[in-house]
Amino acid sequence: HITEHDGRLYLTLGNWNGTRTGKVVCFDTGEIVLEDLHFPHDGFVHEGDFYISATGNSEVLIYRDVGDMNLRGREPDAILPVKMRLPV
């Protein structure tokens, strides 16, 4: 997935080298923004907060007030569990 924040593009890379982990990388600089995520998918910025699904854990990770996207080593500010319901 690709998202834009403050004029830069950020890529969510899942299943990095077949490890079932992934990272978020700034396309423009090559900088790793987040790493060691469990099967990340669909990272995006909304109103200054960064949301990314960790599909391997069935969670949405939320990083508040991301500013310049310097998130490496930072723990999420909130974690939302994702619960799936099967159709009846």
DSSP of 4-45, one letter per residue?
A: EETTEEEEEE-SGGGSSEEEEEETTT--EEEEEEESEEEEEE
pTM for the model stands at 0.86
Dist CA 86 CA 36 (whole Å): 30
pLDDT in tens, the chain (88 residues): 899 999 999 999 988 888 888 999 999 999 999 998 988 988 999 999 999 999 888 999 999 999 989 899 999 999 999 887 777 7
pLDDT at position 7 is 93
Instruction: Look at the block and give the residue holding tokens 């990388």.
Output: 25
pLDDT at position 85 is 74
Dist CA 42 CA 51 (whole Å): 8
pLDDT at position 11 is 93
